[in-house]
Structure 1
Amino acid sequence: MNPTTIPARGGRPPGQLSRRVLNRTLLARQFLLGRTTLPALDVLTHLVAMQAQEPNWPYVGLWTRVAGFRHDELESLLRDRHVVRSTALRSTQHLVGAEDFRWLRPLVQPVLDRTARAPYFARETAGLEPAELDALGRELLAGRTLSRQQLGARLVERWPGRDGRRLAAAVELRQPMTHQPATGSWGRWGNPTAISVTLAEDWLRRPMHAAPPMETLVHRYLAAFGPATVADLQAWSGLTRLREVVDGLRAGLRVLRDEHDRELFDLPDAPLADPDTPAPVRFLPAFDNVLLGHADRTRVISDEHRALVMPGGAMVRPTFLVDGRVRGVWRVAGPALRLSPFGPLARSDRDAVLAEAGRLHPFVAPPGSAPDIAFDRDDD
């Protein structure tokens, strides 16, 4: 659809998209308007990457998108080396398809290099040549897997008196590594404390791409998150100064506008959703793509509620959507699910939230647990 053919609504100029169109389009591209029957690997590939700071959350993210998804599907993908867990977007842990990791990691490497120069690492790496540190790290890992603790201890043998954990972490940021499959297996709601790493080329049995085109990153992002601004792309990837990159691709992209007359980019043939499409209740995991894919997140969450979901900026709490927008948070409490709406819900919405929570409970609760689902407060 050419931007000049997008129908105007409520006096809006052709080519200018309402927030509701952006909402429904994002939900459609994220498989949140209706669960897909695509294999989990295809869904993960479409999404480019899923944040996996805590191992269990990507499983919930796939459950809410893929019909009939089971825990062992993702565990098998990790064991069979079709999916890897590693540091990627925004210097955080993600699950990425093995083939995608080979081009994605080199493209976001500048972000990781910047993180490795942060004050947290500066004291321990002061006076060291990064190339020498990286070379020893690669030598120690060549053909083998080491725990982060083991890698740090061996680095300290060469540079006594320094913090081995931070030396190992600096090497892991600058050199592509993958975590062992057990690190991403189902069963942990918190950060794993014991992580073993392998050089990515050794684990994948293929080299990383030497010079992947930035066009790949832009097109893949827009397929899953567009239409979007340059600022949105930068917020998702962690990269900066992408205006020139996107401008260089402009002739092959669709150019649109949002309600605030900001320039949006999209793939030329990517469909835009009907704003009247019903959006079912969906439960999202912590750190879900939908809440981290844009600089302006008002297409799915208000600024007021964003502060409740992302306290302090480091955490993104698990949420649930009602009519396509974040209306509350939830948590697993042993065998129970606890739901915390941000305000009163209509009776029909409340019933729909409870029904979807009932479907989620057997997936996240310990096996054999009796249904235990409740709102934290009475919202009638």
Structure 2
Amino acid sequence: MTKSRYLPIGGTAPLLSKRALNRALLERQLLLRRSTLPALEAIERLAGMQAQAPNPPYFGLWTRLEGFRQEQLSELLESREAVRLALMRSTIHLVSARDCLAFRPMLQAGLDRALRSAYGRQLEGVDLARLADVSRALVEEEPLTFDELGKQLAGHWPGRAAAALTNAARSLLPLVQVPPRGIWGSGGQAAHTTAENWLGSPLADNAAPDGLLLRYLVAFGPASVRDIQVWSGLTGLREAAERLRPRLRSFTDEHGAELLDLPDAPLPDPDTIAPPRFLSEFDNMLLSYADRSRIMDERYKPLIFTVNGIIRATFLVDGFVRGLWRIEKSRGSATLFLAPFEPLTQAEQSALAEEGSGLLRFAAAGSAHDIRLVNGI
């Protein structure tokens, strides 16, 4: 769709339908067609990938990139070009090394607030500056698991809960998870050191969130200020948005909310065909908006977001979440289970099966493959 169809008329911000927002999101998330971008550039294009578990980013890149192979991401982690650490919403994200150094200072206020909310009472009276210094010395001497770090910190602060002390260290310091954590096929607990120690560079000295807001719009716009706050875990971003307003364009959604966007960002035709896609667990597509209607029906949220914090793997049909998926491996075979939320046409089932066959080849090469429709997962 040409930009002229979205130009304001008479000073009124143009309306973007839910379907128009959906196609804009799919385009920016590399889901309308697989991209030929290198994996590192794709990770930056997406402003990072949520990565509480080791494998979801691999599936997330497979569904977005042409010919993606597991070793392409493993090599980025081993060469320190990409890292895993707590960033947006105080959750583990996979980002490039340079985004790690740039993003972390801009997100520190959100990490501090999350720490106070979860452990404020348990940390009363603890000198947090000293805790940060002690923790830095320990993890820079050698990478430590949180269990190992907690035991050593407890020796400095007797009687304090180890979980509170280690989570304080995690919030106060940019603790990256070092390989083999995050390497395809590897297991074990995550060991941590500081980003500065691992990457050999200091964090950026600019904590203003303006750059983070712009990067969000590249990956997820058009969006409201509230959407950006939900994604980042920061509050009070209205001031930054107003500073940037001369560089942005404005739209309105079907509910009357103002949406901000970059002037040259793509807005595909709402009727653009969207192929079926498989989203991994914890995919930021489902987590990065206050209003998720551009990607999923709110009725399905309880089926996707579990009470213990898991965000299940989903599949898209015509650009919207239509069900769950999982792969089960057993004795040389792998089965892809598809649990649709509503009936699928024969054509939709065939398209999903074709895409699912590729997913199985990626996840379980050398195994016998099967795809089954089930009522629930």
Q: Match of 1:133?
A: 131
Q: Deviations over 1:292-321 (max 9, x none)?
A: 121101011011112211133722110000
TM-score, structure 1 as length reference: 0.92
For residues 3-22 of structure 1, the aligned pairs below 5 Å read 5-6=5-6, 15-22=14-21
Structure 2 residue 142 is the aligned partner of structure 1 residue 147: no
**Which residue identity does 2:166 align to in structure 1?**
A
For residues 269-284 of structure 1, the aligned pairs below 5 Å read 269-284=264-279
- For the 8 Å contact 1:2–1:254, the answer to whether it is kept is no
In structure 2, distance between residues paired with 1:3 and 1:331: 39
**Which residue identity does 1:236 align to in structure 2?**
W
In structure 2, distance between residues paired with 1:52 and 1:213: 25
Compared CA separation, residues 195 and 353, structure 1 to 2 (3 A):
same
- For the 8 Å contact 2:13–2:251, the answer to whether it is kept is no
Q: Deviations over 1:131-155 (max 9, x none)?
A: 1211111122234322222221211
Match of 1:291 among 286, 290, 304: 286
In structure 2, distance between residues paired with 1:134 and 1:41: 30
In structure 1, distance between residues paired with 2:375 and 2:340: 8
Give the deviation of 1:14 after TM superposition.
7.2
- For the 8 Å contact 1:3–1:14, the answer to whether it is kept is no
Q: Match of 2:220?
A: 225
Q: Match of 1:260?
A: 255
Compared CA separation, residues 14 and 238, structure 1 to 2 (3 A):
closer
Give the deviation of 1:193 after TM superposition.
5.6
Q: Match of 2:370?
A: 372
Compared CA separation, residues 211 and 14, structure 1 to 2 (3 A):
closer
Q: How many residue pairs align between the two structures?
A: 369
Compared CA separation, residues 121 and 182, structure 1 to 2 (3 A):
farther
Give the deviation of 1:5 after TM superposition.
4.2
SS at match of 1:338: strand
For residues 52-67 of structure 1, the aligned pairs below 5 Å read 52-67=51-66
Q: Match of 1:346?
A: 345
Paired-residue identity, %: 45
Q: Match of 1:81?
A: 80
- For the 8 Å contact 1:4–1:14, the answer to whether it is kept is no
In structure 1, distance between residues paired with 2:282 and 2:174: 22
- For the 8 Å contact 2:323–2:341, the answer to whether it is kept is yes
Structure 2 residue 158 is the aligned partner of structure 1 residue 160: yes
Structure 2 residue 199 is the aligned partner of structure 1 residue 204: yes
**Which residue identity does 2:282 align to in structure 1?**
F
In structure 1, distance between residues paired with 2:250 and 2:13: 12
Task: Give the RMSD, CA atoms, in angstroms.
Answer: 2.0
Q: Match of 1:307?
A: 302
In structure 2, distance between residues paired with 1:201 and 1:14: 44
- For the 8 Å contact 1:235–1:295, the answer to whether it is kept is yes
TM-score, structure 2 as length reference: 0.93
**Which residue identity does 1:200 align to in structure 2?**
A
Give the deviation of 1:166 after TM superposition.
3.1
Structure 2: state its 5+ residue gaps. none
Moved more, 227-236 or 164-173: 164-173
- For the 8 Å contact 1:283–1:320, the answer to whether it is kept is yes
Structure 1: state its 5+ residue gaps. none
Compared CA separation, residues 167 and 374, structure 1 to 2 (3 A):
same
In structure 1, distance between residues paired with 2:196 and 2:37: 28
Q: Match of 2:178?
A: 180
Q: Match of 1:29?
A: 28
- For the 8 Å contact 1:143–1:202, the answer to whether it is kept is no
**Which residue identity does 1:51 align to in structure 2?**
Q
Compared CA separation, residues 265 and 7, structure 1 to 2 (3 A):
closer
